Amino acid sequence: MSNLEEDLVETIDLLSFTFSSDFTDKWGFKYGKRLPSLLQMRLLKCLDSRKPLKLSVLYKFLVVDSGFSEEVVESFLIDIDYDIYSPIISGTLKESKHYE
């Protein structure tokens, strides 16, 4: 299997897990069901539009629009290892704190 095929399989597996109830169950114990569900919703919207999701937009949505504290959102994004979602989610946490 080529690197491209391996990357594609890994990405599909990651998205499959992310959209599963196992994902919301895993992170729901620490962050409540709402936070992981909102991430799933934003990822679906991003995939539907075929545009990458800027981390700054996600961060602003979770903090400003959804009412989560910055500390909770930062901790959640670090815990789920948001970097592995690249290029679906683009940007860094440091850039995101400035609310584009």
Q: Which residues contact 80 (CB under 8 A, 6 or more apart)?
A: 27, 39
Taking residues 84-96, report their average pLDDT.
Answer: 89
What is the tens place of the pLDDT at every residue in 23-68?
Answer: 999 999 999 999 999 999 999 999 999 999 999 999 999 999 999 9
Q: What is the mean pLDDT of the chain?
A: 92
* Structural domain harbouring 75: 3-96
pLDDT confidence of 8, banded at 50, 70, 90?
confident
Residue 74, pLDDT > 70, answer: yes
Task: Output the CA–CA distances (angstroms, integers) from residue 57 to 2, 38, 76, in the order listed.
Answer: 33, 13, 15
When divided into structural domains, the chain yields a total of 1
- pLDDT at res. 98: 63
